[in-house]
Amino acid sequence: MDSDERPQQQVTGVVIITLPPSDNPSYGKTITAFTLTNDHVLPQSLPLPLPLPDQSLPTTSPPPPPSPQNPQLGFSFSGLFSDNPRKFLGFLSISLFALLLYTLSFSNTFVELRNSNENDDEKPQSFIFPLYHKLGAADTELKLGRFVEVDKKNSMVSIARGPTRTQNINKLVAANVALIDPSATTILPVRGNVYPDGLYFTYMLVGNPQRPYFLDIDTGSDLTWIQCDAPCSSCAKGANPLYKPARGNIITPKDSMCMEVQKNQKPQNCETCQQCDYEIEYADHSSSLGVLARDKLHLVSANGSVTKLDVVFGCAYDQQGILLNTLSKTDGILGLSRAKVSLPSQLASKGIINNVVGHCLAKDVVSGGYMFLGDDFVPNWGMSWVPMLGSPSTEFYHTQLVKINYGSSSLGLGGKDGNIGRVVFDSGSSYTYFTKQAYSELVSSISEISELGFIQDASDRTLPICWRAPFSIRSIMDVKKFFKTLTLQFGSKWWIISKKFHIPPEGYLIISNKGNVCMGILDGSSVHDGSTFILGDISLRGQLVVYDNEKQRIGWTQSDCGKPTRFKTLPFFEG
């Protein structure tokens, strides 16, 4: 090519790598990049050339680089700290500390993410259930059920041998109820509210052919049961026809599930018995009597596939107490506790799900919320986790409480140990219960609103304490500013490192039909064992609460409970 045909301008990019002096390697490498043009004008952007595969860097040290024409294109990390070693040591210390905090915060998350991507084909399923509002049932419910001895002589219906008339059903006489000393997910929609409806419920498809049944979700109950025609001696008019078992559905006393239900009862040798009888007493002094049955449960997983499997549940033919009122809109109870007979434990034992339960109760009546079985919808970040307690009960979801505040005022924990308290998370209770000392101090602290014109209205029997405001009330938002947030502190008394569960005013107040504001925290001294805090639905709303039985922990995070989200990656890895 002739010189006349050569281009008038040629651009060359240069990268120079300077190795550190042999006598002081701590200075590090220096990378300098600049460009050369005939007219000395630098382009706005220029990609640096990459070496070809067959090229290699020279083994000898190049001469010192010339000063770049544009200092912004040259950067020397070593020069930043060469004149001040203390700056370098300080920067290094801060970097190591930040790396340590990052590792502590996300190490478990990366392990979970790594494990979640392995063996996806063998991964257990997850199931989502909608939750619904229980319209028209205004009773205060409190579950925390326990199995009790059954009076087989006077209270039994013989289903296995064919239906007979029930005689002299055993009534509840105890006034106080003592405390019992794989990864797929199912999501169920949830409906319900605290007042005036009482509880949240979902539905299940049972039998062959399948039939729908509405069940109260209850993390404080072991056994799932449905009102059934055995015949039924004392049943409420539920939302759906009574479940009618066939003889082949009835479980015998030798079944392992029957032994689990009757493990705390006196052993009785009955060679002719052909059914497994049970009776449950609840903390609100209601009871349910029935026999165990096994039938098909139809579940739709989060990915749309249908799972049909045999599960054990109660065929309940005699209900007493407040249950008869609350079952006017539902057909039974969905037991979600840690017990082996609970539904999540049964599904986990079959490898269908990982034993994780979660629920999200919406604050508004319209959306209701959802519930899930399995761990696909458990957030990998943003959750506050506390360990489950193993005693005095291994069935309830309870943990240790170290402090409780109303605003900035500390409340006494009460109970057997004044320094440590216990909290049970119970979706089967409409309201929240405090120990006597904490309740009394809370009432005393809140009484300061009388100075603002609020007058206690004894004629309003909606709840034990209701106030008439000096102005018209349409919602909790109208009075929220006059009340303070309750803070339950877990793990440590040191505020910074502890886990905190916040209950804002809308988490413990309701507006009654009389237009008064009422306190939805009740005196729990005569409930349960009297020394336990019980977090009911009123305080669990607006929170995604997770019971991880695999890792023995309870977690929560704020949520609008609108739509469940499957969590796969960290937020900054999402596209």
Cα 225 from Cα 43, distance rounded (Å) = 77
Secondary structure letter of residue 176 according to DSSP: S
CA distances from 339 to 388, 421, 482, 536, 540 (A): 14, 23, 42, 20, 22
CA distances from 1 to 4, 6, 11 (A): 8, 7, 19
* Closest to 192 in 3D by CA, of 465, 564, 536: 536
Cα 169 from Cα 274, distance rounded (Å) = 20
Work out the burial of residue 45: count CB atoms within 10 Å of its CB; fewer than 13 is exposed, 13-18 middle, 19 or more buried.
exposed
Cα 317 from Cα 310, distance rounded (Å) = 21
Give the active site residues: 218, 426
DSSP letters of 318-344? EEETTHHHHTTS-SEEEE-SSSTTSHH
* Closest to 336 in 3D by CA, of 257, 427, 422, 263: 427
What type of residue sits at position 167? Q
Q: What angle do CA 400, 428, 346 make, to 5 degrees?
A: 85
* Closest to 144 in 3D by CA, of 342, 423, 395, 431: 395
- SS3 of 236-297: the string is CCCCCCCECCCHHHECCCCCHHHHHHCCCCCCCCCCCCCCCEEEEECCCCCEEEEEEEEEEE
Tokens at 491, concatenated: 């793990």
State residue 98 phi and psi, 5-degree precision: -65, -40
Beta bridge partners of 200: 133, 192
Residue keyed to tokens 């009122």:
325
> Reduced to 3 states, what is the DSSP secondary structure of residue 54?
coil
- Contact, 275 vs 252, CB < 8 A? yes
State residue 256 phi and psi, 5-degree precision: -60, -35
CB proximity list for 437: less than 8 A, separation 6 or greater: 411, 412, 413, 414, 415, 418
Residue keyed to tokens 């082949």:
248
Q: Please, how many CA atoms are within 13 Å of residue 208, restricted to the half-sphere of its CB? A: 11
Cα 440 from Cα 454, distance rounded (Å) = 19
DSSP letters of 459-494? T--SSS-EEE-SS--SSGGGTGGGS--EEEEES-SS
